[in-house]
Chain A
């Protein structure tokens, strides 16, 4: 009897053991072990960084899945987010120091994040209108590669445009919220980190709801699965494409503004988040939005582990090697890609 039960259980386990589940369980195990070894900071860092990488990589996965654009300039929208965050929050914070009782002390950072999101969305619309729509009108042959190269050019323009108009110096803030750090289970967490992770969790949850439970979200997913079919059932493709672009850029900008206290704004601030977002998107499978959220935490954990145990600076090498291995052995990623179009074009 017990033997039978054991067999049944084992069969159940093996049936559910996809690569995705294995990797999620392994990630959680490693995170717990590392936390026991080096204390709770590991977990906190992983969560803060993973949340922000999740925002970046969701946008990247979305542009890849819906517009079929491998976005190389995604880090530059992060940069736009940090820039807007800096220029909005600096006057707010000087007002706050003179009026410490004002309601802005609480709402200021939130206004900053919203402003960054709006600016990112506007930037996305501009880019879609003036660059990608122009290319789409002219030629759709070899689209993935051509649009990739376009985003490369866009990235050069934006990085150097920042340097031209705003200078190459660091533009940072001291922090969003002042006051003593919070203590959770003996670990001190600064208020800014808490704020950043709350923002990340909220935005990811909102976005998930939007993409799975609303009409427009369903339209976006249908375009990513089959553009011609979506056109046939009357979905306005151009509007959806523009909305997707605006959304994904807004997500990157939110990540930038949320992390402004860690990454001050300078021209190439977006490079590291860009690399990380690409790692995640390839790890999860191109265009898989929800897989990207999971993989963000894996990549963040890998990064934190590398920095803690091997030393900073190697955090580019080990994720790269991991991605190379993934690409060799399983090009469709851990969670599998839902978007066949990217592979064929």
Chain B
């Protein structure tokens, strides 16, 4: 934030640049070596890790809109699906480079973000959420019906990103994407723009009175958040190799929303931090209680409701108020970094 003291040594400078605290860096390093540590080096556990990291990426970018400017983009997974389908079609029809087509998917998703941003400009809160929701529904319906292009419910095959059978390279790609997305979102939040976002989110009238132009900032927010969704969708397409319109369902957006909110709204890192344990817990529940289908999602929903009622700040608030306020100097440095660690991990 604004009152950061300039870091002197190169390590602190690097941390400042990536918006991480030493603890955050440690967590990412642990995540990076995790595929080689015994219980996690099975292929299916790496698949869980990948889906958790995917969820983390989406939760960060979702929280960028929902937590900062306080508009729930309820068509989020439809935007992600737009990016995924675009990328897959670019590769299969036009023979485009995969990485390039992922970016093009992001670009198209950004355009959808502009559309949602423009049409929700005059609306607030629940109206904007509804509009984004119906936009997503229309997008999903179109995807189902454009069979000549998307093969509809039969599913579209997408080329895999790499030729390996192993999941480890994919894991590193998505982990890198996660860190990059977090850093980008955090950079934006640290500038003047981030302050403007928060002002708009808290009280739009007051923000407008203080000379903030909400049009520009809301559009910028939607564009960034949707671009990220599109690129992550491209990864989804080229990792799983098959796309169905099911991935654009509202239920998927609800999953992202639950992760972001249990993690702590407005914190950006909370969703990413909670995505890993939550995904593992859900997958464990599902695989160990396979005779009780749906129990994992019931628990998921109950968790969301409980957190929303009794602890609206989520995991991030818990971490900030109980763990971060440590007395020890070394622990304080590790948890907060040189810059006082405002809101960063």
Which A residues have a C-beta under 8 Å from some C-beta of B? 70, 131, 134-135, 138-139, 142, 144-146, 148-150, 152-157, 159-164, 168, 267, 271, 275, 278-279, 282, 286, 311, 313-314, 316-317, 320-321, 323-324, 327-328, 331, 342-343, 345
Asked whether, in the complex, the Cβ of A316 is within 8 Å of the Cβ of B141, the reply is yes
How far in angstroms is the closest Cβ of chain A from B198? Answer: 14
Contact partner, B127, options A134, A320, A321, A327, Cβ 8 Å: A327
Task: State the CA gap A29–B5 with chains docked (Å).
Answer: 70
- Measured CB to CB, the nearest residue on chain A to B70 is A145
Q: Is B122 an interface residue (CB 8 A)?
A: yes
Instruction: Chain A residues near B129: list those with CB within 8 A.
Output: 145, 148
Task: State the CA gap A142–B250 with chains docked (Å).
Answer: 23
Asked whether, in the complex, the Cβ of A131 is within 8 Å of the Cβ of B305, the reply is yes
Asked whether, in the complex, the Cβ of A145 is within 8 Å of the Cβ of B309, the reply is no
Contact partner, A342, options B126, B145, B297, B312, Cβ 8 Å: B126
Contact partner, B134, options A145, A150, A324, Cβ 8 Å: A324
Asked whether, in the complex, the Cβ of A328 is within 8 Å of the Cβ of B119, the reply is yes
Asked whether, in the complex, the Cβ of B293 is within 8 Å of the Cβ of A156, the reply is no
Query: Given the known A-B contacts A153-B258, A163-B294, are A275 and B305 also in contact in the complex, defined by CB atoms under 8 Å?
Result: no
Task: State the CA gap A159–B296 with chains docked (Å).
Answer: 12
Task: State the CA gap A324–B340 with chains docked (Å).
Answer: 45
Asked whether, in the complex, the Cβ of A157 is within 8 Å of the Cβ of B126, the reply is no
Contact partner, A145, options B72, B141, B250, B302, Cβ 8 Å: B72
Asked whether, in the complex, the Cβ of A138 is within 8 Å of the Cβ of B310, the reply is yes
Q: Is B308 an interface residue (CB 8 A)?
A: yes
Size class of the B contact interface (CB-based, 8 Å): 35 or more
Asked whether, in the complex, the Cβ of A282 is within 8 Å of the Cβ of B137, the reply is no
Which B residues have a C-beta under 8 Å from some C-beta of A? 70, 72, 119, 122-127, 129-131, 133-135, 137-138, 140-142, 144-145, 250-251, 254, 257-258, 261, 292-295, 297-298, 300-302, 304-305, 308-310, 312
**Chain B, interface SS category:** helix
How far in angstroms is the closest Cβ of chain B from A279? Answer: 8
How far in angstroms is the closest Cβ of chain B from A215? Answer: 31
Asked whether, in the complex, the Cβ of A316 is within 8 Å of the Cβ of B123, the reply is no
- Measured CB to CB, the nearest residue on chain A to B296 is A160
- Measured CB to CB, the nearest residue on chain A to B116 is A324
- Measured CB to CB, the nearest residue on chain B to A161 is B298
Asked whether, in the complex, the Cβ of B294 is within 8 Å of the Cβ of A149, the reply is no
Asked whether, in the complex, the Cβ of A156 is within 8 Å of the Cβ of B126, the reply is no
Instruction: Chain A residues near B295: list those with CB within 8 A.
Output: 160, 164
Contact partner, B293, options A163, A323, A327, A328, Cβ 8 Å: A163
Task: State the CA gap A314–B142 with chains docked (Å).
Answer: 7
Instruction: Chain A residues near B145: list those with CB within 8 A.
Output: 311, 313-314, 317
How far in angstroms is the closest Cβ of chain B from A140? Answer: 12
- Measured CB to CB, the nearest residue on chain B to A163 is B294
Task: State the CA gap A343–B124 with chains docked (Å).
Answer: 8
Asked whether, in the complex, the Cβ of A70 is within 8 Å of the Cβ of B126, the reply is yes
Query: Given the known A-B contacts A131-B305, A316-B141, A331-B123, are A160 and B130 also in contact in the complex, defined by CB atoms under 8 Å?
Result: no
How far in angstroms is the closest Cβ of chain A from B252? Answer: 12
Asked whether, in the complex, the Cβ of B137 is within 8 Å of the Cβ of A320, the reply is yes
- Measured CB to CB, the nearest residue on chain B to A274 is B250
- Measured CB to CB, the nearest residue on chain A to B121 is A328
How far in angstroms is the closest Cβ of chain B from A312? Answer: 10
Task: State the CA gap A317–B135 with chains docked (Å).
Answer: 9
Query: Given the known A-B contacts A157-B302, A313-B145, are A150 and B138 also in contact in the complex, defined by CB atoms under 8 Å?
Result: no
Instruction: Chain B residues near A156: list those with CB within 8 A.
Output: 251, 254, 258, 297-298, 300-301, 304
Task: State the CA gap A278–B140 with chains docked (Å).
Answer: 17
Task: State the CA gap A33–B298 with chains docked (Å).
Answer: 48
Instruction: Chain A residues near B140: list those with CB within 8 A.
Output: 316
Task: State the CA gap A342–B126 with chains docked (Å).
Answer: 9
How far in angstroms is the closest Cβ of chain B from A75? Answer: 11
Q: Can you name 29 A-B residue pairings with CB atoms under 8 Å?
A: A70-B130, A145-B125, A145-B126, A146-B312, A148-B72, A149-B72, A150-B308, A152-B304, A153-B304, A156-B300, A156-B301, A157-B298, A157-B305, A159-B297, A160-B298, A161-B294, A162-B294, A164-B293, A164-B295, A278-B130, A282-B127, A282-B130, A320-B134, A321-B138, A323-B134, A324-B119, A327-B127, A342-B126, A343-B127
Asked whether, in the complex, the Cβ of B301 is within 8 Å of the Cβ of A148, the reply is no
How far in angstroms is the closest Cβ of chain B from A261? Answer: 26
How far in angstroms is the closest Cβ of chain B from A138? Answer: 7
Contact partner, B309, options A138, A152, A282, A316, Cβ 8 Å: A138
Task: State the CA gap A286–B130 with chains docked (Å).
Answer: 12
Instruction: Chain A residues near B127: list those with CB within 8 A.
Output: 282, 286, 327, 331, 343
How far in angstroms is the closest Cβ of chain B from A79? Answer: 13
